[in-house]
Amino acid sequence: MSRRPLVAGNWKMHGTRAENAALLDALLHGQEAYATADVLVCPPFVYLWEAARILKSANIALGGQTVCAESIGAFTGEVSASMLKDVGCQYAIVGHSERRALYKEDDALVARKFVATQSQGLTPILCVGETLDEREGSRTFDVIARQLHAVLDVTGIAAFAKAVVAYEPVWAIGTGKNATAEQAQEVHAFIRAELHKRDATIAASVRILYGGSVKAANAREIFAMADVDGGLVGGASLKADEFLKICAAAA
Ligand code: PGA
């Protein structure tokens, strides 16, 4: 089963209007790097609309870094899936470990965000991943299974036909210490096997991204693994040349 690679840039809380414009312009001028891969950028909410204008009909997709589980109403500070769609997004990240840890988003809320995202026709990128403590305590697979099944049990497997999963070991995010290609493959294969128990066809087609200190120097080796279908890139997505090299490694 050949899956089209996807490289997503999670800008987190970085950038200014001027920096974003320069970064997007450079990505638009480097399109040959990702002719055979899908590319997605996730700027902060306030910059999404302008990013959409800059990207116009270019083959770079736009996504939210998170989304509200509710659809409308008195939820000060929140942004709904329909708003993301309205400004040109096709994707939303749900369950990023920073949201789970810093903003106390639990598995049940992540599942609701996944559902809210799909209800607007957007593709959720469901992040799962273990902490260093959990890995060292041999609990990696338990944690990944819990995070995955918390969503699967709510949505059913059919919902994963239009979803992306991202394996992001918490200890590798922003630390410069990436998982080895073998460590990534081991967990990606586990995720696919869990999905396979419910539907073999969907399991074979769902894209599973690796995230956590991906850079140009390690992307090719990690992306070469059988169950790694691209990357969710934080820090390295803020530098156009670095991000384009990562895209080229996936393509
Ligand atoms: P990083 O972040 O590439 O800076 O480690 C990845 C992420 O948090 O998605």
Q: Which residues on adjacent β-strands are paired with residue 233?
A: 9
Would you call 168 a catalytic residue per the annotation? yes
Query: b/e string for 65-89 if b means 16 or more Cβ within 10 A?
Result: bbbbbeeeeeeeeebbbbbbbebbb
What contacts 86, CB < 8 A, 6 or more positions away? none
Q: Six-digit token pair at 249?
A: 């490694």
* Rg for the chain, CA atoms, rounded: 17
191 alpha carbon to ligand 1 midpoint, in Å?
Answer: 20
Q: Measuring from atom 1 of ligand 1, which residue has the nearest CA?
A: 234
CA distances from 131 to 186, 219, 230, 249 (A): 16, 22, 21, 27
Query: What does each of the 251 residues of the chain score in pLDDT, given as a tens digit?
Result: 479 999 999 999 999 999 999 999 999 999 999 999 999 999 999 999 999 999 987 899 999 999 999 999 999 999 999 999 999 999 999 999 999 999 999 999 999 999 999 999 999 999 999 999 999 999 999 999 999 999 999 999 999 999 999 999 999 999 999 999 999 999 999 999 999 999 999 999 999 999 999 999 999 999 999 999 999 999 999 999 999 999 999 99
| Displacement of CA 121 from its chain's centroid (Å) | 16
Q: How many CB atoms sit inside 10 A of residue 218's CB? A: 20
What contacts 111, CB < 8 A, 6 or more positions away? 150, 151, 153, 154, 155
Residue 207: DSSP 8-state: E
Q: Measuring from atom 7 of ligand 1, which residue has the nearest CA?
A: 234
What contacts 137, CB < 8 A, 6 or more positions away? none
Q: Six-digit token pair at 54?
A: 């800059």
Pocket test of ligand 1: the residue of 177, 214, 223 to mutate, having most ligand atoms within 8 Å of its CB, is 214
197 alpha carbon to ligand 1 midpoint, in Å?
Answer: 29
130 alpha carbon to ligand 1 midpoint, in Å?
Answer: 14
Distance CA 210, CA 233 (A): 8
Report which ligand 1 atom has the smallest distance to the Cα of 215: 3
Q: Measuring from atom 2 of ligand 1, which residue has the nearest CA?
A: 234
- Per-residue pLDDT, 58: 81
- Residue in 98, 130, 134, 168 annotated catalytic: 168
Residue tagged 């899936």 (tokens): 81
CA distances from 172 to 56, 89, 102, 130 (A): 34, 27, 17, 10
Pocket test of ligand 1: the residue of 10, 238, 246 to mutate, having most ligand atoms within 8 Å of its CB, is 10
Residue 180: DSSP 8-state: P
Q: Which residues line ligand 1 (CB under 6 A)?
A: 10, 168, 173-174, 211-214, 232-236
| Displacement of CA 58 from its chain's centroid (Å) | 20
Q: How much is the pTM?
A: 0.98
- Per-residue pLDDT, 57: 75
- Residue in 96, 98, 130, 188 annotated catalytic: 96
Would you call 194 a catalytic residue per the annotation? no
Distance CA 229, CA 176 (A): 21
